[in-house]
Amino acid sequence: MATPLRNPTVGIDPSFTAGIAERPRRTDRSAVTAPHSTASQDSGTLGASAATVRHPTRSGMDLHLRQLSKRYSGVAALDGVNLDVAAGELVALLGPSGSGKTTLLRVIAGLLHPDAGQVLFGRDDATRLSLRERNVGFVFQHYALFKHMTVAENIAFGLRSRPRRRRPDKATIARRVEELLGLIQLPEFGGRYPEQLSGGQKQRVALARALAIDPTVLLLDEPFGALDAKVRVELRRWLRELHERTGQTTLFVTHDQEEALELADRIVVLREGRIEQVGTPDEIYSAPASSYVFDFIGRANVLDGRVEGGRFVLDGHALALPAEDVADGPARLFVRPHDFALGEAGSGIDARVVAAHRLADRITLELAVAGQSRPVELDSVATPGLTTPAPGSVLGLEPLRYRVYSA
Ligand SMILES: Nc1ncnc2c1ncn2[C@@H]1O[C@H](COP(=O)(O)OP(=O)(O)OP(=O)(O)O)[C@@H](O)[C@H]1O
């Protein structure tokens, strides 16, 4: 019989809230010292041992995925996925529909078993353990709260349903629920039922319920996907703050690149069950490893041309951009809308203005480029004296930052 994994870095203690408040920021982990030992009060109540309170960082566990594969009737949902997540990291799994995000999250959770490969929590092989044995916290896109239970009962559920020997006493559970209600900023809501909450509030309660068990890792499957845009943005910031305070190792699935860029320490871009790139938001945005990542992260203009002798050229245009690391042959130029300089026709890429919009200090242009099937979008901060170009006029575009990939 497999032994449940316990988070060795996170012991539940009555000073939970204080402990969170005292936690230094991630960059200062080495300076962490125990706020105060509560081992004698807690051991035997929430299953915390002396070892659990020796590590007060509350940063969850490190996680390692080795060569994970999963196929569904011939289709590879996961294809040799390797990933290392450090304790306390907030990682986004990003990719289009069908790229394998949910499958990967479910395999980490133990809700789904891989055909091959390993899931390691710390140094322990968890591949054959169930969700409960892994002690992970999982939040679904559609608030899976129990309708017949109050908010407090929902949050307490994971602790109450533990086997007797690891179940905390009632007073400890009640205290823990109060702490979590404070943490999710719903201190007065313990007696309400889920139907009396907004969508955003329900998701906060779902998060509190997942955190209640002191999970080894927190797994969120499009946690804000069902909410409207404004609430999404608010909850996104709230989750980032919550993570700064709890330092819980967290993986969340999203197909929203903005959400990933704003929230994550690192982003994992998935494509057809494989990892296309892993990096910080800056790395992913500024140095996309492939045209797939460039296209997926942020807005992109794509121009079809070719590389000749280390330069990207477009027939009929003066442009000759350095592209030394790309082999000669058909190639694509990728430029973000705000990464063009505007000049005279004949100086770079000649582009005809199709439509122009000015909004306060920004000018947006829709342009047509001879020989290209896709329109080009340009977004520029208006400088004094710059008038909005008239539709029909021809301009020269100079890419300031760009990437060239073989086609
Ligand atoms: N139970 C299943 N049976 C058959 N195929 C499945 C099953 N679950 C997932 N798949 C397939 O595995 C691939 C990956 O699916 P997955 O749900 O992990 O993608 P995703 O990136 O999470 O997509 P979405 O953003 O739409 O949720 C897809 O091709 C999907 O059709």
CATH code for the domain defined by 299-406: 2.40.50.140
Q: Which ligand 1 atom is at minimum distance from the Cα of 270? A: 21
Residues 6+ apart with CB under 8 A from 191: 150, 151, 152
Beta bridge partners of 302: 334
Nearest residue (by CA) to ligand 1, atom 30, is 98
Q: How many angstroms does the Cα of residue 191 sit away from the middle of ligand 1? A: 37
- Model pLDDT, residue 39: 29
Distance CA 226, CA 200 (A): 9
Nearest one of 246, 249, 149, 232 to 189, comparing CA atoms? 149
Q: How many CB atoms lie within 10 A of CB 71?
A: 14
CB-CB contact of 319 with 313 (8 Å): yes
pLDDT tops 60 at residue 104: yes
List, in sequence order, the alpha helices (H) in 122-228. Answer: 131-134, 151-160, 170-183, 199-212
- Model pLDDT, residue 214: 87
Q: How many angstroms does the Cα of residue 230 sit away from the middle of ligand 1? A: 28
The lowest-confidence range among 11-15, 128-132, 178-182, 200-204 is 11-15
Q: How many angstroms does the Cα of residue 100 sit away from the middle of ligand 1? A: 6
pLDDT tops 70 at residue 302: yes
Share of the chain above pLDDT 90, in %: 62
Distance CA 386, CA 300 (A): 24
Residues 6+ apart with CB under 8 A from 187: 178, 181
Q: What is the mean pLDDT of the chain?
A: 83
pLDDT tops 50 at residue 164: yes
Q: How many angstroms does the Cα of residue 299 sit away from the middle of ligand 1? A: 26
Q: Which ligand 1 atom is at minimum distance from the Cα of 78? A: 14
- Among 69, 71, 72, name the best residue to mutate to test ligand 1's pocket (greatest count of ligand atoms within 8 A of Cβ): 72
The lowest-confidence range among 36-40, 302-306, 315-319 is 36-40
Instruction: Kindly give the pairing relationship between strand 320-322 and strand 311-313.
Output: antiparallel
Categorize the per-residue pLDDT at 230 as very low, low, confident or very high, splitting at 50, 70 and 90.
Answer: confident
CB-CB contact of 52 with 8 (8 Å): yes
Nearest residue (by CA) to ligand 1, atom 5, is 72
- Model pLDDT, residue 220: 94
Distance CA 201, CA 192 (A): 11
The pocket around ligand 1, CB under 6 angstroms, is made up of 72, 75, 77, 95, 97-103, 255
- Among 69, 70, 71, 102, name the best residue to mutate to test ligand 1's pocket (greatest count of ligand atoms within 8 A of Cβ): 102
- Model pLDDT, residue 35: 27
Q: Which ligand 1 atom is at minimum distance from the Cα of 95? A: 21
For the chain, state the CA radius of gyration: 26
Distance CA 276, CA 253 (A): 15
Question: Domain-by-domain residue ranges, the chain?
Answer: 63-286, 299-406
> For residues 199 and 352, which has the higher predicted lDDT (pLDDT)?
352
Residues 379-392, mean pLDDT to the nearest whole number: 80
- Residue matched to tokens 């009640």: 174
Q: What is the DSSP string of 78-131?
A: EEEEEEEE-TT-EEEEE-STTSSHHHHHHHHHTSS--SEEEEEETTEE-TT--H
Categorize the per-residue pLDDT at 380 as very low, low, confident or very high, splitting at 50, 70 and 90.
Answer: confident
Determine the Cα angle at 129 with ends 127 and 133, to 5°. 140
CB-CB contact of 181 with 16 (8 Å): no
pLDDT tops 80 at residue 273: yes
Q: How many angstroms does the Cα of residue 271 sit away from the middle of ligand 1? A: 12
Q: How many CB atoms lie within 10 A of CB 230?
A: 9
Quote the distance between the C-alpha of residue 356 and its chain's center. 35
Integer angstrom CA distances of residue 299 from 26, 206, 311, 335: 31, 33, 24, 9
Task: Name the CATH superfamily housing domain 63-286.
Answer: P-loop containing nucleotide triphosphate hydrolases (3.40.50.300)
Q: How many CB atoms lie within 10 A of CB 262?
A: 15
Q: Which ligand 1 atom is at minimum distance from the Cα of 105? A: 18
Nearest residue (by CA) to ligand 1, atom 12, is 77
Give burial (CB, 10 Å; 0-12/13-18/19+) of 122: middle
Categorize the per-residue pLDDT at 249 as very low, low, confident or very high, splitting at 50, 70 and 90.
Answer: very high
Token code pair at residue 372: 């290209």
Residues 349-360, mean pLDDT to the nearest whole number: 92
SS3 54: coil
Nearest residue (by CA) to ligand 1, atom 3, is 72
